[in-house]
Amino acid sequence: MTPPRPAAWKILLAFGIIYIVWGSTYLAIRVGVQEMPPFLMAGLRFALAGIVLYAWMRVRGVPSPNWREWKAATLLGALMFLLDYACLFWAEQRVPSGIAAVILAAIPVCITILEIIFLRTQRLTIRLGLGLLIGVVGVAVLMNPSASFGEVPIDRHGAVALLAACLGWSVGTIVSKRVVQPKSKPMSAAAQMFTGGVMLLVLSASTGEIGRFHLQAISGKAWFSLVYLIIAGSIVGYTAYVWLLDYESPTKVGTYAYVNPVIAVILGSLIGGEVIGRRTLLGMALILVSVVAITTMKARQTKFVPSRAAAD
């Protein structure tokens, strides 16, 4: 039975949250990793968010994942949080937050390429091929040091890390369709965030970050960015996303994937002092055109559920 439709302002507020809050998380990461070790910051974010979300679900009577579901959550946590966010947080020490958001907006392009080449679950049509080509060209524009259009070239190591982040989330998205997960989406997200967060903390310890971390050296601004990522980015944002899915189509809710990079670029410029040049605008336009073409076409074939919904 479809729940009664809530007031229009509540729907608009939820859309505003997933549009603006998720779009702002890239700048929050950028602010935090200027002072905090990247793996430690990412680990604290997701381990704490996962614990809070898990406890909230248990209080509401949602059963805890069984052993098989925990194993799946650990696998997905490794792909979608350890690999993806370790690379993203590390890259944002070197790459502007707006550029990072635009490159990660190409995740649907990466997923579709994997589906065509390895899984054979997508058929390469002329329209799909054109959409993929536009997306690849958009990424190439952003990463090509010889065609910076007057902007400072992107750090090559940071760009490669962002591509690795795209790959990790894309593979995790495909794997998630083939493993057993809890019926409750928030509980599934909590398990993945917690296991991924713990693995990020282990990575931080193994690379010596914790030994180099000094509490007194961290400013209030950096602590605020971490708290913002935990509460607004991971808990409030995902709650709004899941709530919206009860009243709006997945395709409509999935428009956040097009809006977030634009918000990230604007906030990076207005608040973070990042430069918006012709390269950024051209690359963003190409990638967003590609994502719109691919996702709208796939939405006609299957029930489209956009990526990165659990964490941003």
What pLDDT, in 10s, does the model give residues 82-98? 999 999 999 999 999 99
CA pair distance 301, 292, nearest whole angstrom: 15
**Residues 6+ positions from 31 with CB-CB distance below 8 Å:** 221, 222, 225, 272
275 vs 89, 119, 177, 218, 297, CA distance in Å?
A: 20, 39, 39, 26, 33
Model pTM score = 0.91
Structure tokens, 39: 């793996």
CA pair distance 81, 43, nearest whole angstrom: 9
The residue extents of the domains of the chain are 8-301
- Tens of pLDDT, residue by residue over 120-146, are 778 888 889 999 999 999 999 998 876
Q: Is 206 exposed, middle or buried (0-12, 13-18, 19+ CB in 10 A)?
A: exposed
**Which residue's structure tokens are 């390429």?**
113
Task: Confirm if 194 and 82 have CB atoms less than 8 A apart.
Answer: no
123 vs 113, 120, 206, 289, 298, CA distance in Å?
A: 10, 7, 43, 20, 11
Q: Which of 101-105, 213-217, 302-306 has the highest mean pLDDT?
A: 101-105
Q: Is 246 helix (H, G, I), strand (E, B) or coil?
A: coil
Mean pLDDT score of the chain: 90
**More confident call, 1 vs 204:** 204
The pLDDT assigned to 303 comes to 46
**Residues 6+ positions from 35 with CB-CB distance below 8 Å:** 217, 218, 219, 222
User: Max CA-CA distance within the chain?
Assistant: 57
CA pair distance 162, 103, nearest whole angstrom: 7
Four-point Cα dihedral 177, 247, 238, 262, nearest 10: 100
Task: Confirm if 112 and 64 have CB atoms less than 8 A apart.
Answer: no
CA pair distance 119, 112, nearest whole angstrom: 10
Structure tokens, 19: 């549009």
- The conformation of residue 274, written as its DSSP 8-state character, comes to -
Listed residue (255, 229, 259) closest to 244, CA to CA = 255
In which band, very low, low, confident or very high, does the pLDDT at 4 lie, cut at 50, 70 and 90?
confident
Task: Confirm if 190 and 181 have CB atoms less than 8 A apart.
Answer: no
